[in-house]
Amino acid sequence: MGNADCIFCRITRGEAPASVVYEDEDIIAFMDIRPVNPGHTLVVPKRHYAYIWELPDEEVGKLFVTARRIAAATKEALDADGVRIVQLSGRAAGQEVFHVHVHVIPYYDAKAPQRRRATQEELERIAAEIRKRL
């Protein structure tokens, strides 16, 4: 299943490391290694589709239901003031990895977001906190 060169397909197959927050037969969610804020999670269908318009309706539904659940768990786990849910399709929209994914990003009133490289330990600790609330 998936594309041999796609990093998200490799994560789905267990061939590349990720701090997994959630997984079922259709969806995997894991921590973004360059988070906008701590807790930034990517929700990814296991089947490879490059763009949102390629997904069948039932898979779009599963993807966004999972994103909503992770948003609620993230808000609670990290005491976030709000959560942004974002899906980018196409290079012009800012898509960097051409496998459909949804960003779930916690935000805090007093803190301006700034992307940075997170440590594996930080990702694992935050993933565990979110998992407890799913």
Straight-line distance from the first to the last Cα atom of the chain, in angstroms, rounded to the nearest whole number: 26
Range of the domain at 63: 7-131
CATH number, domain containing residue 46: 3.30.428.10
Instruction: Supply the pLDDT for residue 116.
Output: 80
* Per-residue pLDDT tens digits for 13-71: 999 999 999 999 999 999 999 999 999 999 999 999 999 999 999 999 999 999 999 99
Q: Is residue 1 part of a domain?
A: no
Instruction: Supply the pLDDT for residue 1.
Output: 55
Q: Is the dihedral of CA 89, 129, 107, 122 positive or negative?
A: negative
Q: Is residue 74 part of a domain?
A: yes
Q: Quote the Cα angle for 13-35-78, to 5°.
A: 100
Dihedral angle over CA of 38, 39, 40, 41, nearest 10: 160
Q: Is residue 83 part of a domain?
A: yes
> Would the pTM of this model clear 0.85, i.e. be above it?
yes
Of the candidate ranges 32-41, 107-116, 117-126, the one whose mean pLDDT is the lowest: 107-116
Instruction: Supply the pLDDT for residue 113.
Output: 72
Instruction: Supply the pLDDT for residue 67.
Output: 98
* Per-residue pLDDT tens digits for 71-82: 999 999 999 999
Q: Is residue 2 part of a domain?
A: no
pLDDT of residue 110 exceeding 80, the answer is no
Highest mean pLDDT pick, 2-11, 72-81, 106-115: 72-81
Q: Is residue 24 part of a domain?
A: yes
Which residue is associated with the tokens 């804020």?
A: 37
Q: Is residue 112 part of a domain?
A: yes
**DSSP codes of every residue in the chain:** ---TT-HHHHHHTTSS---EEEE-SSEEEEE-SS-SSTT-EEEEESS--SSGGGS-HHHHHHHHHHHHHHHHHHHHHHT-SEEEEEE--SGGGT--SSS--EEEEEEBTTB-----PPPHHHHHHHHHHHHTT-
Instruction: Supply the pLDDT for residue 115.
Output: 76
Catalytic residues, by residue number, are 101
The domain tally of the chain equals 1
